[in-house]
Amino acid sequence: MNRIIISRTDGIGDVVLTLPLCRWIRTTFPKATLVYLCKNYTAPLVSCFRPIDGIITFEDLVTMDTPTRRNTLKADLIVHVFPNKTVAKWAKQAGIPQRLGTSHRWFHLLYCNRLVSFTRKKSELHEAVLNFNLLTPLGLKELPDFQSIKDIGSEFYIKEENRYPYERFVILHPKSQGSAIEYPLQKYRALAIALVAAKYQVLITGTSKERMEVGDSFDGISGVRNVMGEFTLSEFIALIQQSEGVIACSTGPLHLAGLMNRKALGLFSPRVPIHPGRWKPLGLNARALVYDEGCKKCSKGIPCTCIQNIPVEAITAYF
């Protein structure tokens, strides 16, 4: 096999949880060129992962004429880790002979020729482990356990050389762009105050839009700086590498911190399918907190805000 494409055109955290699969492919097909198809936004992350030889962005493919796109997508195999109807159609048009995807998407019946049947929604398995189901047509005999794939930090290197003027700092990332149940801003404020008292500097990160949502929640706290919207992804990766760690709910920066073996403390609901067993970060220094693993509402799948009850002291104890 000469050229293999991995397609995952969604967010940062999801891309991070696909990287163990990429390492397996690199080990199994060492002479193949491994190309990752992603969004522009996540390309700086993918480019730091050593097993990846090249990147194709979805946005670039959109702008190409059909012959150029077909030539760009020439490969022996494509693995649709994230189902995307447009990408699946392009892959078939490009004549890729092996097109792997889940059988649980109707359009894969049209555009994929190697279908794998498995479900994610109610699974107790970790997302990074579930991704390996797609490799069974390539000879994978059984799914790996989470412990065997959680350490991939040695395969990740930092391209950005920035050195930031902060010392012994912890990153709080309070928002999630709607991807998770969030810990309350007033609790994050109390957490920031507690971390400052423990002699840490605290940086509040997020997007420019999220900065507007956060407002003045962290104003007036000595030792805390709101830097939301001030970094590109490449710069943010370098910032995390320099930090003591990240505290966040189930969102991309948490997974980045885990990937880089920084302290990554995730604040989770125990409700299926958003529980930490499914979405906790990879990494040697990653940990997930829930308030009550046996929460009755969460066990029944009822919307619940028990995450708000995680004590600040339980979080600071990790630092």
pLDDT band at 160 (very low <50, low <70, confident <90, very high): low
DSSP assignment string, 198-249: TT-EEEE---HHHHHHHTTTTTT-TTEEE-TT---HHHHHHHHHHSSEEEES
Q: Looking at the structure, do residues 21 and 46 belong to the same domain, yes or no?
A: yes
DSSP run (H or E) holding 187: helix 185-197
Do 145 and 179 fall within a single domain? no
Do 149 and 10 lie in a common domain? yes
298 and 200 housed in the same domain: yes
Whether the Cβ atoms of residue 164 and residue 239 lie closer than 8 Å to each other: yes
Residue 145's CB is within 10 A of a number of other CB atoms, namely 11
- Does some domain include residue 234? yes
What pLDDT digit, counting tens, does each position of 228-284 carry? 999 999 999 999 999 999 999 999 999 999 999 999 999 999 998 999 999 999 999
Q: Which of 155, 178, 202 is the last residue of a domain?
A: 155
Both 14 and 151 in one domain: the answer is: yes
247 and 135 within one domain: no
Does residue 195 lie within any of the structural domains? yes
Encoded tokens for 138: 């390539």
Residue 160, domain member (yes or no): no
Q: Is residue 105 part of a domain?
A: yes
pLDDT tens profile 88-135: 999 999 999 999 999 999 999 999 999 999 988 778 899 999 999 999
Residue 164 lies in a domain: no
191 and 134 part of one domain: no
DSSP sequence for 7-64 = E--S-HHHHHTTHHHHHHHHHHSTTSEEEEEE-GGGHHHHTTBTT--EEEEHHHHHHS
The strand pair at 201-204 and 286-289 is best described as: unpaired
Same domain, 131 and 182: no
Torsion (CA) 36, 38, 43, 46 in degrees, nearest 10? -40
Tell me the pLDDT band of 17, cut-offs 50, 70 and 90.
Answer: very high
- More confidently predicted of 205 and 300: 205
Considering 130, 155, 180, which residue would you say is the last residue of a domain?
155
Q: What is the CATH number of the domain that holds 196?
A: 3.40.50.2000
Neighbours of 300 (CB within 10 A): 10
- Reference 257, options 277, 280, 278, 223; nearest CA is 280
Residue 163 lies in a domain: no
Q: Say if residue 193 is in the same domain as residue 138.
A: no
| 173/132 same-domain check | no
Q: Which two tokens stand for residue 212?
A: 């507007």
Over residues 49-84, the pLDDT tens digits come to 999 999 999 999 999 999 999 999 999 999 999 999
Is 41 inside a domain boundary? yes
Q: How far apart are CA 172 and CA 228, in angstroms?
A: 10
| Total domain count, the chain | 2
Residues 119, 174, single domain; the answer is: no
Q: Could you tell me if residue 47 is inside a domain?
A: yes
**Nearest Cα to 290, choosing from 272, 309, 304?**
309
- Provide the domain limits for residue 138: 3-155
Residues 148, 191: one domain?
A: no
